[in-house]
Structure 1
């Protein structure tokens, strides 16, 4: 006769079921208790080493550990030891819970108002190619990127400004007027440069910025070389349009890239160093254009400065890595880039940006007019040759302009730490202080003395670049940076580069019946005086609402 089935489970099965229920209750109460059960031996959890109980012991999450930490019935620890779990285990558990609470407090509240303590669905985004985590960016790498982008900007302005030293030989070779040369140096380049800049910047905010810069560098270099193959004025104008489209891919993504490599307290200096490429590029353009024109001709000058940019584009593509958006400010931009119209509305709602952009455009209006037409002034009024002019202007523009850009950025960073309005006060003061030195340059009878007396004006005329570029990047949200830079450059270059040389050229033709070859002197004097005073007024007005506008991006 077989044994009847058991009606009740045995005692060890009851105990096993109780242990399973205890573990489930433990996991619901405290997710870290299971980790302790794995890491701490059973005999320690059971309190094999007896000791005085700390105040409040046996309460909260430790009680399940005491009940759960039972040895087999044979050889169980004394009851007193079982009631006193190990003091170190309790401290470790308390520390883990405290760390967990601190992480919950530090976690930002979700935008949808959900409880941050509850698990959220995991969103996985495909990382950008060669993206850099915060720990991967060193100061040495940031400096390498800054230095390489300065070289790119130097080539940018060599290819842009070499035309200014070649105005006279090109005009004589092609048989065109000053108004036509003003269009070639200004409008033909500036219109396409400014209108192509915004869609390219929009693309840069959504893609890999170093690749955008590399492709743009290759394009403008090839079109500069093609300028030397032009058979007439129309061919040269088309080549300059191509240069403008390629150069539109440089500064907006470069400003955004450098803003992720350098934090706000060092950003104005970094962008001022980057902006020094304007003056080094202008200097090299004067030197190379002047000497190559005298040694060969203006066509050879275009070919010689254009072709090396193709190798530079490859270097940028292979050595610059893409940082995470918002890296320098301790976070990563997770939102999608806003539409261009949204960025424009955001900027235009900031009264300080409206005044800042118009003041910068007026400063550029005078600056481009002087940069383009000063070589022609020295040829017509003082009879200097292009090689000598290139040497003098190259040294003055390179050393003086780069020093001014750097000084403006450093001054804005140091003074702006106390009051952000110094970011607009520095360029306002520089615009007015440079007027006497420009007058000495234009009216001193000796050309070499005039050039020396004009050096402080070159330094002061470059001090607006770093503060303005840095302030624009600080005014906007992270995903708006490249488009914001493109909008600023759109306004600055459409008015400054597009109209400055054109207006000076038109005034030259208008005043030539009265002043002859010296008409360029009076054209430059009128443009610089009106533009500088007008720009200083708008810089001062920008400071009135700057503090409130800086808080707008947090709303």
Structure 2
């Protein structure tokens, strides 16, 4: 391992930085529209395909997350060595076409294959975005910068819920998938023509491209960052809670409260929109707190998890739709602030030469151990409860989510102990030698 002093790249012009950030937020929006529209279509798809909750949980969340888990680290490693912009362009084209092709599927197997391709392509989005934003903005500006990406993602979830529900009733789930998939081709063209790849403050030599020993060494170095293992554990638990909720709360609204697909899309879209508002205040507030030390971002995450849990529990147990919706909005108003703060935290923990890789490691851990497992777990538990509780069983299945959030808070608190030192150390980047 050799030490490489950080090379100061010329800062990008203000307009260039914020235009790039806006396009990255648009890409995040697009990814979540595709993802959330699919979740909203779960009930009509299940009705047409005639499969169990367990299989639908696997199709809608677990298969997608498994594909992301397999491809994230290779694509993140590539993002540290090649044009992140061009990698995103290819990824957007592939996932957009695969989403549209999913609308042509005539059976479970074909639809599963399409979702696997979508998941694999979307694996490039987070690592490339984190690396780009971290190179464009200083450490104490990153919470606000990642806020823009989180707002884009939250708007995508909200819009995906609205449009998925509306299109389902007008065009069926097949037509809905085709409609939400194809606009990504236009976004890919805008990204390619208007965004310039920024210079890197430190880089890995081109001779290392394709060297598996260098990749293994990079993985070992990343896991040696003391803050990262407990952070990963907290992130995994939070992702499991969030993904289980995202996939099954729409079905809860339809089964327990009797909403149609369009009604559910409107209610769920409003709930998720509150997550966007949370991201808008969470990122900038965490930047202010981070001036006192990186650990304060983690204190912030622990606090919002604690505040969100009671609202989440009440949203499942409330006797009326109105009360359930109000409590769900309270939940997302707090927990929605987590995303930009977590991204700013792990972006600052990692040396510039391996930011995409560390981001990929965080993402793949959340995808494989959290997001992939949770929808299937929730679906299987609900299948077990259904014979005795019927549709009401989903109300109690969803209580798995607050339990997982409590676990996440514990590990984030542990991670806070070493965050200050690791963040300072990351400013002295190391480069893996082949």
- Alignment match of 1:546 (pick from 419, 424, 427): 419
8 A contact 1:226–1:303 mirrored in 2: yes
What is the CA-CA distance between 1:395 and the residue it aligns to? 2.2
What is the CA-CA distance between 1:161 and the residue it aligns to? 1.8
8 A contact 2:62–2:374 mirrored in 1: no
Alpha-carbon deviations, 1:195-222, whole Å to 9, x = none?
1111111111111110000110000000
Q: Could you say which structure has the higher helix fraction?
A: 2
Larger radius of gyration: 1
TM-score, structure 1 length as denominator? 0.73
Say what the alpha-carbon RMSD is for the aligned residues: 1.8
Equivalent in the alignment of 2:145: 270
What is the CA-CA distance between 1:334 and the residue it aligns to? 6.8
- Alignment match of 1:176 (pick from 51, 63, 66): 51
8 A contact 1:363–1:431 mirrored in 2: no
Equivalent in the alignment of 1:302: 177
Q: How does 1:220-369 map to 2 (within 5 A)?
A: 220-326=95-201, 332-333=202-203, 339-369=214-244
What is the distance in 2 between the residues matched to 1:333 and 1:174? 49
What is the distance in 2 between the residues matched to 1:358 and 1:218? 32
What is the CA-CA distance between 1:368 and the residue it aligns to? 0.8
Does 2:369 align with 1:485? no
TM-score, structure 2 length as denominator? 0.93
Q: How does 1:161-240 map to 2 (within 5 A)?
A: 161-240=36-115
Equivalent in the alignment of 1:409: 283
What is the distance in 2 between the residues matched to 1:275 and 1:342? 31
What is the CA-CA distance between 1:276 and the residue it aligns to? 2.1
Q: Structure 1: state its 5+ residue gaps.
A: 1-109, 113-131, 327-331
What is the distance in 2 between the residues matched to 1:318 and 1:222? 20
Q: Structure 2: state its 5+ residue gaps.
A: none
Higher relative contact order (CA 8 A, sep 6+): 2
Equivalent in the alignment of 1:463: 337
What is the distance in 2 between the residues matched to 1:252 and 1:552? 21
Instruction: Point out the more displaced range, 405-414 or 232-241.
Output: 405-414
What SS does the corresponding residue of 1:310 show, helix, strand or coil? Answer: helix
What SS does the corresponding residue of 1:382 show, helix, strand or coil? Answer: coil
Alpha-carbon deviations, 1:13-44, whole Å to 9, x = none?
xxxxxxxxxxxxxxxxxxxxxxxxxxxxxxxx
What is the CA-CA distance between 1:272 and the residue it aligns to? 2.3
What is the CA-CA distance between 1:396 and the residue it aligns to? 2.1
What is the distance in 2 between the residues matched to 1:552 and 1:416? 16
How many residues of Structure 1 are paired with residues of Structure 2 in the alignment?
A: 419
What is the CA-CA distance between 1:335 and the residue it aligns to? 5.2
Does 2:7 align with 1:134? no
What is the distance in 1 between the residues matched to 2:151 and 2:237? 19
What is the CA-CA distance between 1:414 and the residue it aligns to? 0.3
8 A contact 1:340–1:483 mirrored in 2: no
